[in-house]
């Protein structure tokens, strides 16, 4: 099948892009890497009258670390560039690892980090990594610019806090230390995750916590609901422990209790829940090792 006819525009500034997105009559749509949108056009699941290509806007191509140590990823920055960046590999290795699970090199060479976040496939790796890393989303629109926290950004399957006349201009990740792991189960290498989990653990190194125990934990799952699922009960089960067998059992039980995936054509709910709990144990063990 071929896409329905559309106009194409490549603005050179954010205000120019927003002016094009305000043209409701043409039902405009942003295109970044095109790795999700172009297949949707070809299948006629999307029928925009105008594509607004944001990859020629210089300010959206920036990948920077600010004075506070936060990582800023502009909307035109490709996934492969982020995963290969030495600053990302050193200080946000969870992000680089999550990108490594996306499709194939050709996809990552074109697809953008921000495009994956706005597209928000519930089986995608980057929304889960963004929630685990406590990302902030900078959204520009007709009323100005606003910042949205990760827990408010992902609304439902293929739906985020970004409105049709708005543009996600960058995603910001705060500085991060500690142990990490990203584990996923996929039917074939390069497929979307059947289920996946991102775990971040901090190890105490002195008072008031005795050294050698978890002082902070984050556990976020993908493929188990319409949005990335963070489970505070899992985090509580790990906090204050040395991630020994009893803590891992408690974390796994909390995941089995807290996750409520649905059956679909790819996997049963039971398979997803049990696989996710299994991956969690593996991820916690790896993340704890990496705190040393």
Ligand X SMILES: Cc1cc2nc3c(=O)[nH]c(=O)nc-3n(C[C@H](O)[C@H](O)[C@H](O)COP(=O)(O)OP(=O)(O)OC[C@H]3O[C@@H](n4cnc5c(N)ncnc54)[C@H](O)[C@@H]3O)c2cc1C
Binding interface with ligand X (CB under 6 A): 29-37, 39, 54, 75, 102-103, 107, 111-112, 114-116, 118-119, 121, 124-126, 162, 167-168, 191-192
In 3D space, the residue among 131, 127, 161 whose CA is nearest the CA of residue 146 turns out to be 161
For ligand X, the closer of residues 124 and 284 by Cβ is 124
Least distance to ligand X, CB of residue 287, Å: 21
- Name the residue nearer to ligand X (CB basis): 104 or 292: 104
Q: Residue 10: which residues within 8 A CB-CB, separation 6 or more?
A: 53, 55, 56
Shortest distance in whole angstroms from residue 89 CB to ligand X: 19
Question: Is the CB of 116 or the CB of 291 nearer to ligand X?
Answer: 116
To the nearest whole angstrom, how small is the minimum distance from the Cβ of residue 74 to ligand X? 9
Sign of CA dihedral 80, 85, 89, 95: negative
First-to-last alpha carbon distance for the chain, in angstroms, is 54
- 110 or 203: CB nearest ligand X: 110
Compute the least distance from the CB of residue 264 to ligand X, in Å. Answer: 16
Q: Are 60 and 170 in contact (CB under 8 A)?
A: yes
Spatial separation of the C-alpha atoms in residues 116 and 32, rounded to whole Å = 10
Of 121 and 253, the one with the shorter C-beta distance to ligand X is 121
What is the closest distance, in whole angstroms, from the C-beta atom of residue 159 to ligand X in the complex? 10
What is d(CA 94, CA 91) in angstroms, rounded to the nearest whole number? 9
Angle between helices 245-258 and 269-289 (to 10 degrees): 150
Rounded CA-CA distance 282/276 in Å is: 10
């Amino acid at each position: 099948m071929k896409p329905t006819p559309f106009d194409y525009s490549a603005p050179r500034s954010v205000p120019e892009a927003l002016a094009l997105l305000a043209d409701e009559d043409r039902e405009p749509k942003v295109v970044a890497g095109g790795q999700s949108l172009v297949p949707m056009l070809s299948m006629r699941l999307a029928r925009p009258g105008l594509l607004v290509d944001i990859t020629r806007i210089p300010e959206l191509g920036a990948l920077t670390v600010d004075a506070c140590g936060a990582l800023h990823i502009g909307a035109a920055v490709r996934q492969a560039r982020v995963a290969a960046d030495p600053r990302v590999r050193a200080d946000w290795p969870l992000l680089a690892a999550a990108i490594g699970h996306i499709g194939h090199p050709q996809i990552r060479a074109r697809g953008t980090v921000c495009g994956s976040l706005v597209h928000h496939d519930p089986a995608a790796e980057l929304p889960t990594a963004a929630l685990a890393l406590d990302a902030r989303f900078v959204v520009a629109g007709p009323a100005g610019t606003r910042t949205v926290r990760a827990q408010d950004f992902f609304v439902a399957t293929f739906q985020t806090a970004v409105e049709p006349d708005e543009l996600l201009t960058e995603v910001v990740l705060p500085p991060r230390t500690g142990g990490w792991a990203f584990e996923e189960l996929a039917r074939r290498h390069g497929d979307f995750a059947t289920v996946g989990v991102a775990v971040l653990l901090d190890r105490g190194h002195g008072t008031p916590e005795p050294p050698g125990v978890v002082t902070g934990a984050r556990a976020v799952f993908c493929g188990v609901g319409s949005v990335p699922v963070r489970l505070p009960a899992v985090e509580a089960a790990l906090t204050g422990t040395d991630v020994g067998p009893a803590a891992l059992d408690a974390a796994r039980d909390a995941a089995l209790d807290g996750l409520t995936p649905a059956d679909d054509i790819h996997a049963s709910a039971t398979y997803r829940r049990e696989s996710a709990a299994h991956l969690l144990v593996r991820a916690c063990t790896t993340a704890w090792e990496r705190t040393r």
